[in-house]
Structure 1
Amino acid sequence: MKKSALLPYFFVVLLTSSCAQNGDKGVNLPEKNLFTLESIVDGVQNPWGMAFLSDGSLLFTEKRGKLLLFKSGELTEIEGLPDIYVRGQGGLMDIELHPNYNENGWLYLSYSSKKGGGTGGNTAIMRAKLNGNQLIEKQLLYKGVPNTTKGQHFGSRLEFDKDGFLYFSIGDRGNRNVNPQDITRDGGKIYRIKDNGDIPSDNPFIDKKGAKTAIFSYGHRNPQGLIKHPVTGEIWEHEHGPRGGDEINIVQKGKNYGWPVITYGINYIGTKITDETERPGMEQPIYQWTPSIAPCGMTFVSSDKYPEWNGNLLVGSLSFQYLERLVLDDNTVVYREKLLDGMGRLRNVKQGPDGYIYVGIEGKGIFKLVPK
């Protein structure tokens, strides 16, 4: 793994078919733009999470259990990680900096962990500080239970809201008939905690007997996208459906998002999960993808580097190996567009502090999308 030359890849950003579905409306498109896809770090096996430091360096995770710092053209492996349970979709996942990172130095990691009783692992959230190439002052903030040897649906993204609360996701861990609809159990949930791991006093289930009081919303399948809206401050998430029914949702306090009682998807073998796509008391998605694109990573565009994309949502596709741009009108998707079609499995997409869009592509690396 090394720093690449600055001229490794040049692509036309593809303004291909509108991918219309579910009543999407076409919109007038700008002229086709040429972009340089500039390689930042190559040879990355699975670039799950990215965090940008104020000195221009980049911290990123490899799912196999590595945290790496890219600075001044050099890569340094960070030591002192916790014991990471690498299995299936689990490993070292997201990374997020505290909103006041420059003052307090806290960074946050999500990963699969064997801590606690039982065989296997479950999703954990920790915070630590970086001292040179070492993690110090490590604190475990949350650990999902029970452990299981199932290799699917760990989640897990991290995002701070405008009030400084930390949101994170844990997937249903392959136990859809029990976990997502039961607030006394972990899995299939979006959680909200304070930056030190304490539970906010206004969390929705704080007074419910037996409830996991960190839960903020439930009825989710496997959320691998979590982002704060740059204008409204709302937390948006997307999650994997089964065969069909990937969803985009705005996360609301105490709401039930329905999985698996309602879904637009079916089992992978083609059989029905349920006949219901809606039910009173359960939230409808802002948007759903059928067929599934297997969404992973998401970011809102608010940068003047891409003025024609202002307010758009970018989402990575694992299954179809492209970056999707969604045009929104009053929280309704009115147009979809494929970018970087066929480039590879898009694991993550983030807008950096320099205003540029960065993408992590499995087996290829981390790239910057530069308007030419």
Structure 2
Amino acid sequence: MYRRASVFAAIICLGGPASAQDFNATPPNATDQTPAFEQQTRAPILEDGFSLETTAVAEGLEHPWGMAELPDGSWLVTERPGRMRLWRPGSGLSEPIEGLPDVDGRGQGGLLDVVVGDDFAETRQLWFSFSQDRPLWRSIVQDQRRDRANRTAVGTGILSEDGTSIEDMRVIFEQEPFIHSQSHFGSRLVLDGQGALFVTTGDRASPETEAMVQLVDNHIGKVVRIALDGGPAEGNPVIEGGLPEIWSIGHRNLQSAALGPDGALWTVEHGPRGGDELNRPEAGKNYGWPVISYGINYSGEPLAGAGTEQDGMEQPVYYWDPVIAPSGMAFYDGEMFPEWQGDALIGGLAAMTLVRLHLTDGQVTGEARYLQDMARIRDVEVASDGAIMLLTDDPEGQLLRVTRGE
């Protein structure tokens, strides 16, 4: 049995930026670390002269994770237990869409991100990520263990004209190898505009995978780039001994990703206790985890790596300590908030906030936070009319529409 989401809910709240609360005044966890360059962390706080109006257009979603707008203004929304729904203005949420694969919904796993291309009106093709279960009997035979192994996977298919089912569904990417873990699947999907799909993965938060993040014979803790129907994309870096899907390595858990105004991929990944990172991953480069980090262990002890810098490893464009626990990301491109044009909008889970970063010449020059303590924000998108759409991570999650107030 699935939980039935309510057809429509309208809940209005008003709120300006959280900049009246000086979030930069909170002391860091890693007190002995210093940034590599000016404004790599704790950029000046941005101020706005208006409030935000937030409307819940749907509620009762069970841990919603990803969303994508369709040309008619409706939205596809995923729920982590394995459901995808279609929200239509005026008629609310559909029943679960049929034709999806089974998912491993334990822990942080399940049905995760979803994207559609600019040509959706003609093709009706969509892509989605999920945690793929290895059957229990195979785990017992191959691993002599009774906890099932799983991995991040990506599927594609055609949404039927009536929006009730996915046809010609096929899996086009499977992370190697299977891992016994219920955490850190990554799973953001970004179409690169050049006929390829970026897929983010996580380090799987397991002792057996710690060393794998820095190795290129696997997909653990990587950004991968695949063709739209599967296989490595043309133009990927050639890495000696590496899997051909790999774009970049050394990532912890990437749950925020988007194309920036510069046409490049930008990501934000979870750090441990401190050390959430904004990066602009480039082909073939190493982003350091778990060797370098601006975080510390959850115990409060330093990490067992090389500190915050090492030759051959990239510095983050920006980092947070304390963490925001990032999930979801979009660059603003719309008319409703012209002051935010080109700014990055990032969901905060632990911080329970919407983060805005202003970038100048590829560096962060200001930060603002909005809707503080309202909810754990799982995903962020910009609607075609310029409104901001948010998903809240909760057993009774909501699809929110954020518009300009007074």
**Bigger helix share:** 2
Q: Does 1:98 align with 2:129?
A: no
Quote the offset at 1:171 in angstroms. 0.3
Correspondence for 1:127 among 128, 147, 156: 156
1:203 maps to: 236
Quote the offset at 1:5 in angstroms. 4.2
2:216 maps to: 183
1:61 maps to: 78
Letter in 2 for 1:88: G
Aligned sequence identity (%)? 35
Q: 3-state DSSP class of the match of 1:67? A: strand
* Aligned-partner Cα distance in 1 for 2:122–2:46: 45
Q: Is the 8 A contact 1:18 1:26 kept in 2?
A: no
Which digits, 9 at most, give the CA deviation of each residue in 1:321-362, with x for residues without a partner?
111111222222222212000101011111122221101112
Which digits, 9 at most, give the CA deviation of each residue in 1:22-46, with x for residues without a partner?
6445366332x13220111112221
Letter in 2 for 1:67: M
* Aligned-partner Cα distance in 2 for 1:332–1:367: 29
Question: What are the ranges of 5 or more consecutive residues in structure 2 without an aligned counterpart?
Answer: 26-34, 140-147
Q: 3-state DSSP class of the match of 2:61? A: coil
Q: Does 1:367 align with 2:394?
A: no
Q: Is the 8 A contact 2:82 2:103 kept in 1?
A: yes
TM-score by length of 1: 0.94
* Aligned-partner Cα distance in 2 for 1:259–1:130: 38
* Aligned-partner Cα distance in 1 for 2:369–2:43: 15
* Aligned-partner Cα distance in 2 for 1:201–1:358: 33
Change in CA separation of 1:152 and 1:64 when aligned onto 2, cut-off 3 Å? same
Q: Does 1:88 align with 2:107?
A: yes
1:73 maps to: 91
Change in CA separation of 1:312 and 1:202 when aligned onto 2, cut-off 3 Å? closer
Correspondence for 1:355 among 373, 383, 386: 386
* Aligned-partner Cα distance in 1 for 2:263–2:251: 21
In angstroms, what is the RMSD of aligned CA positions?
1.8
1:242 maps to: 272
| Comparing 141-150 and 158-167, the one that deviates more | 141-150
2:329 maps to: 298
Q: 3-state DSSP class of the match of 2:329? A: strand
* Aligned-partner Cα distance in 1 for 2:212–2:185: 12
Correspondence for 2:367 among 311, 328, 336: 336
Correspondence for 1:30 among 45, 48, 70: 48
* Aligned-partner Cα distance in 1 for 2:92–2:43: 46
Change in CA separation of 1:25 and 1:48 when aligned onto 2, cut-off 3 Å? closer
* Aligned-partner Cα distance in 1 for 2:46–2:252: 35
| Comparing 196-205 and 297-306, the one that deviates more | 196-205
* Aligned-partner Cα distance in 1 for 2:351–2:45: 23
Correspondence for 1:49 among 59, 66, 82: 66
Which digits, 9 at most, give the CA deviation of each residue in 1:48-90, with x for residues without a partner?
1001111121110001111011123232210111010111111
* Aligned-partner Cα distance in 2 for 1:139–1:83: 12
* Aligned-partner Cα distance in 2 for 1:62–1:305: 28
* Aligned-partner Cα distance in 2 for 1:199–1:26: 41
Q: Is the 8 A contact 2:199 2:225 kept in 1?
A: yes
* Aligned-partner Cα distance in 1 for 2:333–2:276: 24
1:19 maps to: 23
Quote the offset at 1:99 in angstroms. 3.3
Change in CA separation of 1:251 and 1:28 when aligned onto 2, cut-off 3 Å? closer
Quote the offset at 1:115 in angstroms. 4.4
Letter in 1 for 2:76: L
1:323 maps to: 354
Q: 3-state DSSP class of the match of 2:121? A: helix
TM-score by length of 2: 0.86
Q: Is the 8 A contact 1:243 1:267 kept in 2?
A: yes
* Aligned-partner Cα distance in 1 for 2:134–2:226: 20
Quote the offset at 1:195 in angstroms. 0.7
Quote the offset at 1:98 in angstroms. 2.6
* Aligned-partner Cα distance in 1 for 2:152–2:404: 38
Question: What are the ranges of 5 or more consecutive residues in structure 1 without an aligned counterpart?
Answer: none
Q: Does 1:147 align with 2:174?
A: no
Q: Does 1:224 align with 2:255?
A: yes
Change in CA separation of 1:353 and 1:115 when aligned onto 2, cut-off 3 Å? farther
Which digits, 9 at most, give the CA deviation of each residue in 1:281-309, with x for residues without a partner?
11100101111111111111121110111
Quote the offset at 1:14 in angstroms. 2.6
Which digits, 9 at most, give the CA deviation of each residue in 1:77-123, with x for residues without a partner?
10111010111111100000133222222100000002486432110
Q: 3-state DSSP class of the match of 1:180? A: helix
Which digits, 9 at most, give the CA deviation of each residue in 1:224-266, with x for residues without a partner?
011001x210000010011110100001000000100111111
* Aligned-partner Cα distance in 2 for 1:287–1:162: 25
Q: Is the 8 A contact 2:156 2:170 kept in 1?
A: yes
